Amino acid sequence: MPLSPEVERRILRVVLENAVEHEGAPRSGPVVARLLATDAGLRPRAAELRDAVARAITGLSGVPVAELADRLDSLGGPEATRAAPAPTEDAGFPELPGAVDGRVVLRMAPFPSGSLHIGSGRMLFVNQHYRERYHGRLLLVFDDTVGSEEKRVETEFFDLILGDCELAGVRPDEVLYKSDRIGRHYPWARRVIERGAAYVCRCPAELLRENRAQGRACPERSQTPPEARDEWDRMLGGSYAPGEAVLRLKTDLADPDPAFRDRVLFRISDLDHPRVGHRYRVWPLLEFSWAVDDIELGITHILRGKDLVVEDRMERYVWDLLEVPGPPFLHWGLLRVREAKVSKSKSYREVKTGVYDGWADPRTWSLRSLDRRGITMEALREFTLSFGMSLTDIEVPAETLYAENRQRIDARTLRRAFVPEAVRLVIDGYPFDLAQVELANHPDRPELGRRTVRAGPELYLARPDLQAHAGEEVRLKDLVNIRLPTDAPVAGGTARAEFTSRPNQRLPRLTWVAVPGAVPVDILEVDGSHRIGFGEAALADAEPRATYQFERVGFVRLDDAPAGTRPVRVVFGHP
C-alpha cells in the first residue's frame, strides 16, 4: 500500500524546510530521521519512507533557494516540532503464558566471544522489559562451553559483557557460568542413555555428514543402553581423543530437517578453558546444556530469536524423553539496521590485530561504540522495544535509531562551528567593529545561554563551499555578507573575499571559524575514516565525552581524552 497523500505532503514540507536551511542542498538522513521520530507509525515502513524522501529531494534539484522558501510558505511554512506519540507500555508485548507476578525467572545467555553489539539489544531490553513487568528475576548465564579453535572463550569478554550490561542499565540478579556447571550435565546424559535414546558415535566426520544427509544410520546407532553406557564411560575416562567419539541423540533419521537428525549432545575437547582449564574433556553442546540448566535454574520463560527454533526442538525433545515439564518459548524476528554490518568474528580479528580502535570502534556497532558516538542507551532501548515481539524479520535504516536519539539530546546539545578542508579567507573591507560577535548556544533554547566568538577579517571556510559558490555573494552565518573569489585554492591555502553588506539576506549560508583561536579537530567517522578541520575556539576547553552538534555536520561526542588534547578528537554520532 503506498504512503498516504498526507504523509507525502508532510515529506515534501520537511524536505523543503531542510532545503531552505541548507541553502538548497537538503540532506536525506535528517529528513528521514525527523519523520520517523515524529511518527512512530512510519517505522515499519522506513525503507519506503527513505525512497519517498529521495524522490522529493530529486524533484527539487536545481530549484533556487528563494523559490524553495516560497513553496515552503505555500505549505504553511516550517511545521512546529512535534514529538512522536508515546507507545503504550506493553504495546507489542504479549502476556507471558502462565506467568505469576513476582515468580517469573528469565535468562540471557551470551557466548563470551566479544562485546555486545546493536543486535544484542533485543536480548537485553526485551528480557528487562518482562522482568520489570512481572517483578521477576533475570539471570545472566555465560554460555562459555569450550568453543573451538576458531571461536575461543577469552577471559576479557566476561568483564566486557558485564560492563555492556551495566552500560545498558540491565543489571542481572545473578551471574552464572556454564563452565561451572559441566559436571551437572553428566547425570542427565546417563538418563538419556538409560532410555535407549543416545549412543556413542565414532564415525569419521565425512561419513557422518553423508549418513545425516541421506538419513542413514551409522553402525553404532544399534548400541544397547549398557553398550552405550560403557562407551560413555570410556569417553569420560579419556579413552578417546578429540574428534574420535561423540555422544549422539537418537532422533528421527527421516526428519525433514537434516540438522535435527541424530544431533550431537557431547563432544571431546582438550582446549584450555580460561576459567576451568583442563578440568573437563567432555563438553555438552549448548542445546543439551540448556535442556538441563533451564530446568535446574528454574527458568519460567525463554525469550529469544526465532533463528533458534532447532535449539527449541532439542530442548523439548529431551524434556519429553525424560518426562520433564519445561518452560515455554517466546520468539522475536530478526531486526537488522541496514548500515550496521555486524560480524563478531570480523570485529574480533580487527580488534586483535589493531585495525579497529578497540571494541568501541564505530565499525563494530557494539554498545560501547554507540555510547562513544553519543547514542544513548535510552534511545537504543526505545528503538528496540518499538518493534515489540514481532516475528517478522525487519530491516530499518540507521536513521530510525538516530531519530530516537535526536529526540533525547537535541534540546540540551550546544551548537559549535566546524570547518573541514579548511581554506584561510581574508575579507577585504571587513568591518573592524565586528571583531567578535555574540552567538546563541542553541537556536531554540535561550536558557542554554550565549557565547562570545571571535570573527573576521581572517576566517576559515570549507573548500567545497568555496568551490560550490565561487564568485557568488554568500551569507557568513550570523555575521556578514561577502563575495567569494572565483577560484578556490587547495585546502590549507589562502583566498581573498570582499565584504558586501551586513543585513541578513536570503543568500547561501556558509559556516565559518575565525582563524585566531581556531582549534584543530579530528572527527572519527562511522566507517573508520577521519575528517580533519578547524573548530571554533570554544572547543579548546571542552570536557571529555561532551556532546555537541557541529553545524551542518551533525552530532558528535568528544573522545575520552584529557581536556587540551590537540587535535580535539571527536566521534561522529549521526546527522
**Which residues, in sequence order, are CB contacts of 19 under 8 Å at separation 6+?**
25, 26, 57, 60, 63, 65, 68
Classify domain 413-575 by CATH architecture. Beta Barrel (2.40)
Residue of higher predicted confidence among 478 and 149: 478
Q: Quick check: 329 and 304 in contact, CB under 8 A?
A: yes
**Which residues, in sequence order, are CB contacts of 405 under 8 Å at separation 6+?**
374, 375, 376, 379, 555, 573, 574
**pLDDT-based confidence at residue 46 (cuts at 50, 70, 90):** confident
E-assigned strand segments in 306-397: 329-332, 335-337, 394-396
Q: Quick check: 549 and 573 in contact, CB under 8 A?
A: no
What average pLDDT score do residues 528-542 get? 95
pLDDT at 87 (0 to 100):
44
Predicted confidence (pLDDT) per residue in 361-374, tens digit: 999 999 999 999 99
Give rounded-to-5 percent helix, strand, coil for the chain: 40, 20, 40
51-55, 63-67, 465-469, range with greatest mean pLDDT: 465-469
Q: How far apart are CA 97 and CA 426, in angstroms?
A: 72
Residue of higher predicted confidence among 93 and 48: 93
Q: How far apart are CA 213 and CA 530, in angstroms?
A: 50
CATH number at 88-331: 3.40.50.620
pLDDT at 245 (0 to 100):
96
pLDDT at 89 (0 to 100):
46
pLDDT at 150 (0 to 100):
64
> How much is the mean pLDDT over the chain?
91
Predicted confidence (pLDDT) per residue in 314-327, tens digit: 999 999 999 999 99
Q: How far apart are CA 115 and CA 182, in angstroms?
A: 24
Predicted confidence (pLDDT) per residue in 420-462, tens digit: 999 999 999 999 999 999 999 999 999 999 999 999 899 999 9
Closest CA to 394 of 39, 45, 33, 11: 45
DSSP 377: H
Would the pLDDT of 181 be above 90?
yes
Q: How far apart are CA 226 and CA 473, in angstroms?
A: 93
Predicted confidence (pLDDT) per residue in 119-142, tens digit: 999 999 999 999 999 999 999 999
pLDDT at 45 (0 to 100):
77
Closest CA to 115 of 179, 167, 177: 167
* Distance (Å) of CA 118 to CA 22, 206, 398: 31, 37, 11
Helix (H) or strand (E) holding 558: strand 554-558
* Distance (Å) of CA 98 to CA 44, 306, 326: 30, 21, 12
pLDDT at 40 (0 to 100):
67
Alpha-carbon dihedral 31, 33, 37, 41, rounded to 10 degrees: 90
Which of 88-102, 259-273, 279-293, 330-344 is predicted with the least confidence, judged by mean pLDDT? Answer: 88-102
What average pLDDT score do residues 245-252 get? 95
Closest CA to 105 of 131, 126, 124: 131
What average pLDDT score do residues 388-396 get? 89
Would the pLDDT of 485 be above 60?
yes
Q: Quick check: 226 and 199 in contact, CB under 8 A?
A: no
Alpha helical stretches, state H, 102-247: 121-134, 155-168, 182-194, 205-214, 225-237
Angle between helices 398-409 and 28-38 (to 10 degrees): 70
Q: Are strands 519-524 and 568-574 parallel, antiparallel or unpaired?
A: parallel
- In angstroms, how far is the first alpha carbon of the chain from the final one? 29
pLDDT at 388 (0 to 100):
92
HEC letters along 252-285: CCCCCCHHHCCCEEEEECCCCECCCECCCCEEEC
Output the DSSP codes for 516-529.
Answer: TT-EEEEEEPTTS-
SS3 370: helix
* Distance (Å) of CA 548 to CA 22, 108, 447, 539: 19, 35, 16, 10
Q: Quick check: 286 and 311 in contact, CB under 8 A?
A: yes
Q: Quick check: 20 and 69 in contact, CB under 8 A?
A: yes
Q: Quick check: 496 and 423 in contact, CB under 8 A?
A: no
**pLDDT-based confidence at residue 507 (cuts at 50, 70, 90):** very high
**pLDDT-based confidence at residue 231 (cuts at 50, 70, 90):** very high
pLDDT at 8 (0 to 100):
87
Helix (H) or strand (E) holding 110: none
Would the pLDDT of 74 be above 60?
yes
pLDDT at 88 (0 to 100):
44
Fold of the domain built from segment(s) 344-411:
Glutamyl-tRNA Synthetase; domain 2 (1.10.1160)
Instruction: Give residue limits of the domains in the chain.
Output: 5-74, 88-331, 344-411, 413-575
Would the pLDDT of 213 be above 80?
yes
Predicted confidence (pLDDT) per residue in 294-312, tens digit: 999 999 999 999 999 889 9
What average pLDDT score do residues 339-368 get? 93
Residue for grid cell 525424560: 322
Q: Quick check: 99 and 301 in contact, CB under 8 A?
A: yes
Q: Which amino acid is at 3?
A: L
Closest CA to 115 of 171, 161, 163: 161
Closest CA to 101 of 300, 313, 254, 353: 300
Output the DSSP codes for 206-245.
Answer: HHHHHHHHHT---GGGG--HHHHHHHHHHHHHT-S-TTT-
Would the pLDDT of 198 be above 60?
yes
Q: How far apart are CA 171 and CA 101, in angstroms?
A: 19
**pLDDT-based confidence at residue 219 (cuts at 50, 70, 90):** confident
DSSP 193: H
Would the pLDDT of 482 be above 70?
yes
The region that residue 29 occupies, defined by phi over 0 for left and psi between -120 and 50 for alpha, beta otherwise, is alpha
Number of Cβ within a 10 Å radius of residue 467 = 13
Predicted confidence (pLDDT) per residue in 249-281, tens digit: 999 999 998 888 999 999 999 999 999 999 999
**pLDDT-based confidence at residue 83 (cuts at 50, 70, 90):** very low
SS3 320: helix
